[in-house]
Each structure stands twice: as C-alpha cells, then as structure tokens.
Amino acid sequence: MSSKPEQPESQSGGIDFSDFDELTAYLDGELDETQTQEVENRLGRDSKYLAEMQSLQKTWDLLDTLPVQEPGGSFTKTTMEMIVGDAVSIAKNRRKRTAFLGRIAIISLLPIVFFATAYGVARRLQTDSDRRLIENLSVIENHNKYDSINCSLEFLESIRGVDFFQKPTVIVENGNEIEVAYEDDSAGSIPMEYDQRAAYVKSLDIEKKISLKGKFEDFEKKTEAERERFSEFDLKLQAQGNRQQLLSTLTGFYDWFKELELSERSDLQDLPWDKRLAEIRSIRNRQAQNELGKKSLVNLPPKEDVPFLIGWCESIFQLKERQLRDRFPIVLEQYMRQKKIASIPPSSVFLEKSRVENLNSIIGFLLRADRQFVEDLIFEGEALFGLYDILSLNARKQLASLTEAQQRSRILDWVDAVNQSQQGTSTEDLKKFEKQLGTKVRDRLQKMSSEKYRETLEWMYEESRKSQISSQSWWEQQIEKILDQN
C-alpha cells in the first residue's frame, strides 16, 4: 500500500483530495447542514467544482442502467432444501461421535426433522390447507378477537361507548371520492366471493401472510365446537348494519386486552358483561395513571391527583362534547391549509370525521392547534367546575405559587397529560405506522437515540392521525428539524 494520497491526479483536475471526499459525501447525503451549505455555496461560485460534482453524479446515475436479473426460479426451493439437508447432516454427524452424544443428537434432530417435515408437508398440502383457509378467512382472521369478548355481541355493543377502544378514523381516497373509513379495518374488507378471497390472500404482503398462517394453525387446533361457535358469531357480526364500527371497536379492545396479564384476562372474562365494563374502566384508569409518568411532558400533575383529574376531565369533556366536536372540523381544515396539504377534503368529510372521531383525539388535537379554545371552555365555568375542590394540598400549593396566566397554562398541561394517557398508542399501531414511512424518513429516525426515536414516532403517529399528513417530504423536513435541534 502506498503512503501517497490515493487519489489519482487525473481525478482531481484542480480539485484537491479533501474536496473530492467532501463532494462524494455531499452526493451521498452524509454531510450535516453546515457542511452541505458550504458545499452548495462553493458549487454556486466555483465552476470546476460544479463540473466535478455533475460528472460524479452522472457516473453514479449511469450505474442505474445495469439490469438486475432474477436468480434462477428454483433458488428459494434449493436454498430451503439445502438448509434442511445441512441441519440434518450436522445432527447426524453429532450422533456418530458417541452413544451418549447420539441420544442428544436424536433429540436435537427432532426440531430439525419437524422443520423439514413441516416444510415438505406444507408444500404438498398447500392446496388443501389453502382451501380451508380461504373458506374460513374472516373467522380465522378474527377468532382470537371473538374469543376475547366471549362471542358476545351485547358486550361488544356496550364497549362501543368507551372512547379508548374506538380506533381513530382516517380519511381515504377512493377513486375520485373521499370518504371517512375506520382504521385497521382489514377484516371488514375481506371479500365475500371465494375467488376474490383467494386473490385477497395472494395479494397480502409476506408479513401478513405469516401472521395469517399463524392464526390459521391456531384455528385448526380448536375443537369442532369452538370453531362452530366462532363461525356463528362471525355470521351474526357480518349481518350487523354497523359491522365496520363494531369491528373497529373490537380491534381496539383486543389490542388492549391481549396486553393484560393472563390472570387479569381470565378474571375479566369470568365477570358478567355489565360488571366487566366497570372493571375495564377501573383497569384503564389504573393504566392511565402509570402511563402518565412515562409521558415526556414537563408539567405533570402530582401523582396523587391523577385519578381525580381523570374523572374531572371525563365529566368536563362529556359536558362540553358538543362544542368540542363542532370546533374540531373548523380547526382541522385550517390546520391542513396551514400545512399546505395538497388535497383538502370537502367539508362534509370533516363533519363526518368530527362525528365519529375519538373524543380524546379531538381534545388532544385542539390542545395543540387551538389551545385558547380549550382554555376558554374550561375556564368559563364557575370555579373551574370544582377543580380546586378535588385537588390535593400539594397541587393547590403548586398553583398558588403561580400567576393567574401561569395557573391556566399549568392546568391545561395537566389536562393534556391526563388526556394523552387516556389515548394510549400501542406498539402495534406504531409498528404499522412505521412501515408506511418512506426509507429516508426511517433512516433518519434510526439515527436517533431509542428514547427519542419512540417519542418522535409517537408524535408523528399522533400528528398523522390528527391531520391526515402522509407527505413523506413533509416528514423528512420535520425530522431534519428534530435532528438539528439535537
């Protein structure tokens, strides 16, 4: 290896070695903002430097003309067979060593044989199992959810009133029409016809296929009676006029339910459905108190005040629900215009969204986009709707040390914190949201620390729910700003 600089002279042509590294890093998007600015300033005034950059870029683009060939059609199959063969031969070799090790090898061979058999059998029986899967698709997809509510339509109707379980709605474009749809409504979109169902399964991405396969295996293990019970409930649910809404609530409930401890789950399921509802509220309140401590908000209420504040907020916002829902579409439309979002839906869509949106989401949005409105709403009541009566001495002391304006702001912070804890963002929701982001956005997110990453992802998720932002370039800009602040 030479000790001389490794850049050939002919490459530089008036551009020195470090300039060359800098230009490459610039083209690869690896410079920070200051360095990028410096390079861009120089590009503006130095024609040689500009020509060098253009030439490098053209070379890079030229590489795109190379076609990418698919590997041979049997690549996956032979790779899988090779792996099975390799695993078996490793186990066999082990067995030869000693009798004792031989027994161990047999044991270790079992999962491999199972793996190999499962792989082979799965391939041979694909047609049969596929048929059963397609025929029972809706039940297979949802049977765990049905089980979580003991297949009780009555109970499902009752939890529809619990805001927490209602998935937020999204505005979707359907051809030229724009309509309000329920989020996570995959089950609702399962087609009725067999052929369409088969096409639907085929069109699922790999991850969804794997998830479906797991559910299918789980379903097949159920007894005949259980499978019938789920199928009957599925038919009953399909016949409901508000099926979509019910499915959305069920998904929200199930996401929450499966995170509970096993004992909590079985205790809950043993209760009659009316008592179950009270118990659910009580568990939710307990969880909200815990979640409150995790929120990255500066002004959290004293811990002992949290349960009382949850109750207080609930009653105030029930009282003011009409005003909040009326205000929401106006502010949302303004917000979308401010953000220069390209296609603003018609007013009817905003009104529909306001009608069906989760109340906690509406409050959260208004606290950010129109804090004054929420403040006026809370402070118009005499003695703050009895807030001081429910606060602890500690909380009252905190407020007493502040000016009137600061007190208002602090109370709104507490309301915000309590409201956020009631919304809850599940990891599943975040995972799903993260998958929809562009590669650039995800790469930038990855540069953050884990805590910042989660916090930013939650923020993005909330923003997208509130404002329907889906522009990747907008997210890129926002994330750049966050990274810059750091």
Partner 1 sequence: MSLSESSLQKASKYELLDPDVRLMLQVREGSAAAFEALVEKHQKRLVMVLEHLVSDRTQAEDLAQDVFLRVYRARERYVPTAKFSTWLYTITHNVASNSIRKSSRRKEINLVTSPSGSMPVRPLDTMAKDKSNLMPTRLADQKEMEMVIREAIQSLGPRQRMAMLLSKYEGMSYNEIAESMELTTQAVKSLLSRARGNLKEALAPYLSSGKSSRELDEEAGGTP
List interacting residues with partner 1 (CB under 8 A): 1-2, 4-11, 20-21, 24-25, 27-28, 30, 55-56, 58-60, 62-63, 65-72, 75-76, 78-80, 82-83, 86-87, 111, 114-115, 118-119, 122, 206-207, 209-210, 213, 427, 430-431, 434-435, 439, 442-443, 445-446, 450, 453-454, 457
- Separation CA 420–CA 461 (nearest Å): 13
Q: Based on CB atoms, which residue is closest to partner 1, 389 or 443?
A: 443
Q: Which amino acid is at 417?
A: A
Which two structure tokens, joined as six digits, stand for 422? 């009631």
**CB of residue 343 vs partner 1: minimum separation in angstroms?**
29
Long-range contacts of 203-206 (CB under 8 A, 24+ apart): none
Closest CA to 457 of 177, 359, 403, 449: 449
**CB of residue 465 vs partner 1: minimum separation in angstroms?**
18
- Separation CA 478–CA 428 (nearest Å): 23
Q: Based on CB atoms, which residue is closest to partner 1, 227 or 452?
A: 452
Which two structure tokens, joined as six digits, stand for 382? 């005499």
3-state secondary structure at position 179: strand
**CB of residue 70 vs partner 1: minimum separation in angstroms?**
6
Residues 6+ apart with CB under 8 A from 19: 12, 49, 52
Q: Based on CB atoms, which residue is closest to partner 1, 208 or 236?
A: 208
CA Rg, the chain, in Å? 29
3-state secondary structure at position 231: helix
**CB of residue 436 vs partner 1: minimum separation in angstroms?**
12
Q: Based on CB atoms, which residue is closest to partner 1, 399 or 430?
A: 430
Closest CA to 221 of 318, 144, 326, 121: 144
**CB of residue 359 vs partner 1: minimum separation in angstroms?**
28
Terminal alpha carbon distance of the chain: 40
Q: Based on CB atoms, which residue is closest to partner 1, 86 or 177?
A: 86
Burial of 337 (0-12, 13-18, 19+ CB in 10 A): exposed
- Separation CA 22–CA 462 (nearest Å): 38
**CB of residue 271 vs partner 1: minimum separation in angstroms?**
33
Q: Based on CB atoms, which residue is closest to partner 1, 33 or 279?
A: 33
**CB of residue 73 vs partner 1: minimum separation in angstroms?**
11
Q: Based on CB atoms, which residue is closest to partner 1, 240 or 464?
A: 464
Q: Based on CB atoms, which residue is closest to partner 1, 305 or 462?
A: 462
- Separation CA 99–CA 68 (nearest Å): 51
**CB of residue 87 vs partner 1: minimum separation in angstroms?**
8
